[in-house]
Structure 1
Amino acid sequence: MDSPDQHSSGVRRGLKLPAVKPCESGEGLPYAPENWPGPGDIWRWKVGVRVTTSGFFNDRYLYPPKHLPSGGDSAPRKGGAFSSKLAVERYIRAVFPEVDVEKFFSLFSWKIPCKDTHGKTFRGTRSSVPPPLIFEVSDEDPMHDDESIHVVCKAGNNKCKSLMLNGENPSLPAMQCDICCSEPNFCTDCCCILCCIPVSLEHGGYNYIKCEAVVHEGYICGHVAHINCALRAYMAGTVGGSIGLDAEYYCRRCDAKKDLIPHVYRFKEICGMVKSQADVEKILNLGICMLRGSKKAKAKELLICIESAVVKLKCRKNEDIGNADALTVWPEISDNGDAKDNETVHSLQEAEPIGPIPFNHQAEMQRLEEEICQVLRALRKAQETEYQIAEEKLCAQKEYLNDLYVLLEKEKSDLSRRLSDTDANDLITTILTRLDQIKKEVSKLREMEEIGKGFGRAPRGILEEYFHLRVDG
């Protein structure tokens, strides 16, 4: 007969308990009931990633056969899984009141030993794991181990989401991954699938996205990615081509797409709790990058609101923004991310233009008029300088041609008064050379006259060769 301490520890005598890897799953014994409550009824099990000091998984899930009654309020959570002994006990007492709960748990082992990445059973020594976080065990579950839990993240991230004890987590368990998650230092819960660096939970974890696509019955993908990494890799935002994203995120692991608009809607609440204006602007700018270019009406409306809020913030550099007054342009939204009133944004746009800037109208117009006058004076001065350069170079070329023509006339006159045949031959050669020179200089002048189109439209080579103006780019 089993001893009471074996019942309370959740380990059934006589069962061989093979160690399993994080996120592994299976059916039946030794970690789930078989042929209960009737022949052929096989329960399923799955483990998480957290490990106790004794080497057993802290997070394990139990899936009843589908044909069993739901159990009303004691029904398994979304996905059909029980995530704690207390939840299983409530279900058994509600659906099978005649069954002895302790006898039910004696049919299998609730405790599941952990196998490390090298295939060895994990012993939970302090030297084998990164510095752990320690949590007190809740008194709510009387069958839980009476010991402190040293939580382990594969990436050694002390702020990993898997370290947060939330009771019965409403999120579905992640499907076991044999690709990236087989790496010894990669954690599904906190490592970016694109850069492998742990994500940050700062400001509500606004800067990362989690794929919650159901990839198998009762399991989700569960991989996370930095939004900036996804944007740079063209896996988030609005992207054309074969992927075809419209304000969406594309998961590299399971090829599922996720709408980013509900994620951006969370930024309003997040910004309302942020005291640093620089951080608020960073959050809003990320939202702009996620929504820019979208053809969705909700994305366009939300983008307008965020851009308006950014302009307001820039106009309040020296003011305290802790109350997030600049974010009042956002529409009210429901829990599912939809606008509560479809006319909210439209009325907002009519009543308050984008980026309203408080100023004295007359003073602002006077300042703008002065700016325009300065620009025009600068343009006129620049044009006068260009005109002077063109005039100087063109006139110089004209004078040079005039000198060549004078020399040609002199040489022709000398030829008419030739003294000998030898002198005549030399003069003819000189005259022919002079004619070629004049022809080249006239062609050069014609090219220089291209400046009549303006310095901005004249060929770059002409500006550099004839007017000695260096043009970059």
Structure 2
Amino acid sequence: MDSNVCDESYVYGAEVKGNGLHLWPVSAGESGEGLPYAPIDWPNPGDNWTWRVGKRKSANGFWCDRYLYTPTSFQRTVLKKQRFASLHSLEQYIRKEFPDKDYNAFFSSFSWRIPAEDDYRAKGDQITFGGFLPEKNMSENSKSGSQPGSTDCKAKNKMCSLQLPAGNYSLPAMGCNICCSEPGFCRDCCCILCCKTIDWTYGGYSFIRCEAKVDENHICGHVAHMDCALRSYMAGTVGGNIGLDVEYHCRRCDNRTDLLSHVTRLLQTCESLDAPEEIEKILNMGLGILHGSQRTNAKKLLDHMELAMTKLKSGSSLEEIWKEYDTSAVSPGTEEVAADEDAQDLRSGSKFSLGLNSMQKRSQQPTYITSDYQNATVKLEDEIERVLQSLRKSQETEYRIAEERLYAQKSFLLSMYEQLDMERSELAKNSSTTDGNSDDLLANVLDRVNQINRESDRLKEMEEVAKGFGRVPKAILNEHFGLEIED
């Protein structure tokens, strides 16, 4: 055989043939030293790196969680023992600590991707891995943006083309002439909200890719940092007109993605890690997504994550944190399952008891409760918003009518007072003479006073609208404001 296991301590060796490495599948939690999954004799002879895998597998049979450790000889130098969970962090470390070394030669000497044992049991279960890094000089993409699976990245991100082949997309991404027409923006690795590149650390938990179908043959394909989406109120639970409940709203295509499965993966990622500070960071993200949700499964996940965070901050061991902590099965986009069902663990099929086994035994058929909470939330929010807008408009209309009629009545009254003053002056002039017009002038003054009194009473009736049109007698609205109110 071209490659063999050296001994039972999981130290692997592999024969290098030209550009290719012969990869051998490994089991969950396995670790080893050297090729084909870690460099040897780098940067100096005898400096052998080690590797380890987690528990999560990708759809195409590779381990999602894999770690690379620096040689033990580094501990005797100024360089400390380091662990890397992503190509991005490893690249930054190599560029910083070994600026004079051949970067491409380092990454070409081993395989970052590690196949899972269960997926390669057929004859000749070895994989030829030819070439690790993309060409150094990448061509610019067309104005329509990069397509998933393309080796070109407009953002000049080498990690982009390395990670994309592991993606499992049912359909190609749609053409985009909006954000993807911007120079330096890559749809596959640039956040649509901040335009910065995403990070695939720990399986890419920190970003979300919109895989909503935009037509029969294409998906959206744009990505966003989860933190950016949460800060922009485009992810998590958001009220108002947006109406999100543990969902992500894509700014590019306006479609929504249920985030329950994403939060479940966050939990699974935490269980595979041995770094408390990283676990706390991921748990905080999950709590931010779930906070405020009224969905049953979301509340369960929230309780689990809060419990894990409490144990973590109290100093409990990682084994203790996850001892009785299995991730509840969540089926986004489907009906909520009644609480008397035991939830299935997505990773292993194990169950955790909800303390309702007696209820489950009484029911041979599982009970499904149709939940229209999301639709009802959006519908009711829109309905109330329309009512309030209509009320505001109607109140504004009523206000304008009241304003117009009240000021008109005021102007009319003032004109009556002006007329009264003129008539009184005329009466005073004629009172000093023997002219017989004094009686007529006096009669006019008295009539004017009576008219002013009537119009003043009319104004007082009109002022009742201060209580609101709904509390004013219909006769007043009809007579003084011209509003005909039906019974």
Q: TM-score range by the shorter chain?
A: 0.3 to 0.5
Rg bigger for which structure?
1
User: What is the TM-score with the length of structure 2 in the denominator?
Assistant: 0.38
